[in-house]
Structure 1
Amino acid sequence: MANLTRGIDHIGITVPDIEEATTFFKKAFHAKIAYDNKKLGDEPQQGEAVEKTLGLKNGAKVIHIRILSFDNGSNIELFHFKDTEQREPVIASDFGVQHVAFYVDDIQQSADAFVEAGGELLTEPGELLGDVENESGEFVYGRAPWGMLIELISYNPNQLNYPEDSEAKRFTP
């Protein structure tokens, strides 16, 4: 049977303010606006059909949606909701999507840009952890201004020590 999956098209992220999140992603990762699916000020997406389609709580309204594009990687779809209870961003031990990682060429320069854009690093960049990546590169975790966990990672794909039973090599932009 043929593989019908090409790759990840986008990652959806709920933010408190799409303009502020866009500014952050532009400054930190050179994101570009592809388009707005729903402009702020347009009639909100709401009602039973939207709640069912997106798995929302009753009364939630989608008031702004924007697609951000990156030169070499998946897109990010930003969402801003109204009239629904918001929870704190997840931490790494929570179920579900817990972080997004950006492959970068220079970890320190990228970490500096992340902080200058309004992010907060959890530590300084350090050596990758794990047997496969051992001594192949560096990484650091940080929080975006709204609390979302983001990883910066840089490694030499030719230095990864894959186990014998590996079914594939890791995708590297």
Structure 2
Amino acid sequence: MLNAVTASPPVHTGLPTARAVDHYAFTVPCLDEAVAYAVDVLGGRLCYREGPVEDPSGDWMTRKLGVHPRARAQVALVRLGPCTNLELFEYTAPDQLVAPPGPNDVGGHHLALTVADPDAAEDHLRRAGTVRLGPADPSGRARRWFLTPWGMLLSVRGPLRPDGRRFVPAPDPHPTAVQSALGLLGVEHVSYTVADLDAGVAFFTDVLGAEVVESGAAPDTGPDGHRPPGAEQSRRVLLRTGPTANCELVQSGTGALRSRPPRNSDIGGHHLAFYVDDVDAAAAYLREQRGVVLMGEPETITQGPIAGDRWLYFSTPIGIQMEIISMPDGSLPYERQTTARRATPGGLRWHDRP
């Protein structure tokens, strides 16, 4: 659990009662494979699995999750490093798209990791069947790009110097053996390719209360290269999203094959979730924001590993689906079955900068 050096008052701009990014969610072809990779290769800890999530005769899946009414999901939550939760979905759905979007496409995405030693991390990833993309950089300083066995993009780079603006991962004080082999310090950022970068930045700053850290073109090579090999050079903006996360938005390329983001049930589907103290207050605020559509009303889970969680999905005008949640950490049913724990904001609030 993280603690701020100095506590700040609750956030008064942006999403009401927000504390932090709670999790990054991705839909994968095989949940067992993705969980094994997140745990055995990336050094995460499995907190819980749940499912099937389904409604065999009604429209709950469409109203609440935006997928086909007969869609069916299995879910797992893996803690990755000191500050990050990965929520992994496996869907079956009659209208599922099985090819994920590419980095130029609207809905393209990747997860950026910070490691202690990029050479050692590359060796570790390659031994686990992770594919390196592009040639090696002679300087050894460039961001390195990889594909997981199921085709999700990862980038890896060495430690960053704190600049007082972006979130910079610090070492986990109690790394696992796998974390030690990877040298994982934490998740640097999540990246999403959007149809309109300016609109995306405006939504993150004006509606969510994020702060711009850096912006400009995304060079293909060099120590600051931000796009995988073969992707178009395009504009990008990095934003600070709360105390322990950064989010990169990238303008989709002129050669994009897809102009619409994937649904939750498609391979490569994704959403971004925020931890808030008051889901109902946050929902009331979002209801008034232009282009935001709430997917039903806030709902409290009554059974399963995270009974007590209050949550709500919402769609945004920039094509990234999002979620607000509030969990009674310390009294969730899964906590009785494992020593693994979700990453939580603890006493941190949105504008704290630990």
Q: Give TM-score scaled by structure 2 length.
A: 0.41
- CA offsets, 1:44-64, max 9 Å, x none? 7579xxxxx6155xxx53321
3-state DSSP of counterpart to 2:322: strand
In the aligned structure 2, how far is the partner of 1:147 from the partner of 1:65?
Answer: 16
Task: Work out whether 1:27 is the aligned partner of 2:199.
Answer: no
Matching residue's letter, 1:119: V
Alpha carbons of structure 1 residues 86 and 130: separation in structure 2 relative to 1, 3 Å: farther
Q: Which runs of 5+ in 2 are unaligned?
A: 1-176, 222-226, 346-354
Correspondence 1:44-59 to 2 at 5 A: 45=219, 54=228, 56=230
Correspondence 1:1-173 to 2 at 5 A: 1=177, 3=179, 4-38=183-217, 45=219, 54=228, 56=230, 61-84=232-255, 85-115=257-287, 116=289, 118-128=291-301, 131-135=304-308, 137-162=309-334, 165-173=337-345
Contact 2:263 2:269 in 1 (8 A): no
Contact 1:28 1:113 in 2 (8 A): no
In the aligned structure 1, how far is the partner of 2:178 from the partner of 2:237?
Answer: 33
Contact 1:90 1:148 in 2 (8 A): no
Contact 2:278 2:326 in 1 (8 A): yes
Q: Please, what is the CA RMSD of the aligned residues?
A: 2.5
Q: Percent identity?
A: 26
Aligned length: 159
Contact 1:24 1:118 in 2 (8 A): no
Contact 1:28 1:117 in 2 (8 A): no
In the aligned structure 1, how far is the partner of 2:233 from the partner of 2:291?
Answer: 25
Q: Which runs of 5+ in 1 are unaligned?
A: 39-43, 48-52
3-state DSSP of counterpart to 1:27: helix
| Alpha-carbon distance, 1:165 to partner | 4.7
Matching residue's letter, 1:29: L
3-state DSSP of counterpart to 1:159: coil
In the aligned structure 2, how far is the partner of 1:159 from the partner of 1:73?
Answer: 23
Alpha carbons of structure 1 residues 6 and 66: separation in structure 2 relative to 1, 3 Å: same
In the aligned structure 2, how far is the partner of 1:159 from the partner of 1:82?
Answer: 46
Alpha carbons of structure 1 residues 165 and 156: separation in structure 2 relative to 1, 3 Å: closer
In the aligned structure 1, how far is the partner of 2:189 from the partner of 2:303?
Answer: 27
- CA offsets, 1:82-139, max 9 Å, x none? 312224212221223521111112212222333415321111111136512112x310
| Alpha-carbon distance, 1:146 to partner | 2.6
- CA offsets, 1:19-57, max 9 Å, x none? 21111112332100011142xxxxx7579xxxxx6155x
In the aligned structure 2, how far is the partner of 1:72 from the partner of 1:152?
Answer: 16
Question: What is the aligned partner in structure 2 of residue 41 from structure 1?
Answer: none
3-state DSSP of counterpart to 1:54: coil
Question: What is the aligned partner in structure 2 of residue 50 from structure 1?
Answer: none
